[in-house]
Chain A
């Protein structure tokens, strides 16, 4: 898959997501976008900015304020030949749609023996770090990742955001697309026209030899910063960006851990019964003999997401990551 305009441009994640929607709608008339405030306003984060003006109200429209209805209607539209991309306004506002997602979005293909596919994308602005009030900062990935039948992805930079969203829209399976809110305004040089990653592939974001940091979504920049600081202190940290939580790229992750023999998982979500615990279990099961130390985790605490003034205690920071790295039993080396 390639994007339309070639060349390098400095773009934010919000801009590349918008461009991905626009390019997908141009490429395929079956792609429709809807949700709360996605029309004239362009979404509360402006991800759908200009789509109604460009493609008309049949292709991008505001809906009543009812998330179960939004996802349920998308199921019917996907059953009947369209590729809906719906926006849940915030992570915690997606919960009314949970029954639709778990009982129908995830199961329709299976309960019709493959006859009815649901090519739909549920976009969820997610996680914290933006000083949001309650119900605006949840890391809800574990709920979706635990549900067979869903793909779950979380980009960590503008280029991947574009590529993963195009891949999600092109997928014949439903995708829960988690957009780290705090990265919406992160800017980087994006090579438009470059090949984009498929769903299900992790990537080594930074090479390193001493230990591996495994992260996804909003935790990736934290891991990269930690690796930068560690390098100045003489320790070489490798950083793996999962990009896709489901399907999980065991191969890339395990190969990375085998190279260093030490690992720390960094995630914003609460640690108990989480994606981070799954990662530790998977890597331990597969790489036990290559490990020089137990895998450590730096995650959110098991508390309701704190208010803005206290959220920095909840979010994994560079210091906590480096402390965890320090705990990887280097004395046994």
Chain B
């Protein structure tokens, strides 16, 4: 064991490659992603923003039970998905619907649990996206297990495990980092520090100089990145993924971002933060920043933007149509997947419900 922890330290400031005005920022540590990657990321950001706002509207219309929006955090969502190769896994939280969609999950299916359904909607093995997890940080040890199993089989799988700033206070966050380090599991832990855990600001969550320091005690290198800079995210996360794939072990990355909307529709953000604070973050919006950058480089014009907006609208319409369809859930299914085969007791209970339904049907 080496006493020198210097290599574990994150950069002093979050890595930024594009500033708020769209101008490139020189970095000695990271090369800027190529033009194609930036254009691809921007297209995804436009759709991501539209989906966030569409989902938010669907809550107001009563079609979704709740939506923890990633409005303002879309660059993290898009980059976390785009740096992965086919076969890599993503472990999302409830605020990471957009990341799941960017891995190929149908947005209607991705919102099943938030619609109020009893299942995650999609097949986790189809796109290697775990069902989103609600109890904070509990998915992180699962991510380590998936990565370790792949490593035991000699597969080149990397796992991207997401959580928020509040989640870093949970025990499972720490146990997962420690297990990943000891097992040298190929996991990239991405913490989206959006400044608030519902209403509790970061200063009440931790006294650490940066959440990326939380890996150091476990021997996990940390890095800090501007969470509203898609270019920096692609570079930093991409490097971490390749490092993990090459056998370099896990990494902990803190993305500095901001939750532009309330925790969910059920939350009142005016009780714990000022409008002026939110306004300051509008300047740093991940979409306008990358748009300005691409326009400066002639990688984007009004015509192309109109195409991207139309594509985003098409996806939003698909989401709207999907959630506006009234599907009557079948109560019998509640018993079907508790066990591989229902226990005799469950079979009895399922029969009871079936009988109730039959009598109810006969009365109609």
Contact = CB atoms under 8 A, between A and B. Distances in A.
B250 to A, nearest CB: 13
Given A72-B141, A76-B142, A81 B149 contact: yes
Interface in B109-124: 113, 118-120, 123-124
A28 interface: no
Interface string A63-103: 11010110111111111111010000000000010011001
Contact of B123 (A115, A171, A247): A115
Contacts, number: 138
Contact of A173 (B125, B175, B339): B339
A313 to B, nearest CB: 34
B147 to A, nearest CB: 7
Given A73-B144, A79-B146, A109 B153 contact: no
B146 A66 contact: no
Nearest to A148: B338
Interface string B135-154: 10010111111111110110
A309 interface: no
A176 to B, nearest CB: 13
B235 to A, nearest CB: 28
B172 interface: yes
Interface string A190-218: 00000000001000000000000000000
A234 interface: no
B175 A112 contact: no
Contacts of A32: 152
Interface in B300-334: 333
Main secondary structure of the interface of B (DSSP, over half): helix
A82 B149 CA distance: 7
Interface of B: 113, 118-120, 123-125, 130-131, 133, 135, 138, 140-150, 152-153, 171-172, 175-176, 178-179, 182-183, 333, 336-340, 343-345
**Interchain residue pairs A-B with the least CB separation, the first 6:** A76-B145, A72-B141, A69-B175, A247-B343, A80-B149, A76-B142
Interface of A: 32, 58, 63-64, 66, 68-69, 71-82, 84, 96, 99-100, 103-104, 108-117, 148-149, 151, 171-173, 200, 246-248, 250-251
Given A64-B182, A73-B145, 13 more contacts: A72-B175, A73-B179, A76-B141, A77-B149, A80-B145, A84-B145, A104-B133, A110-B119, A110-B338, A111-B120, A114-B340, A116-B131, A172-B340
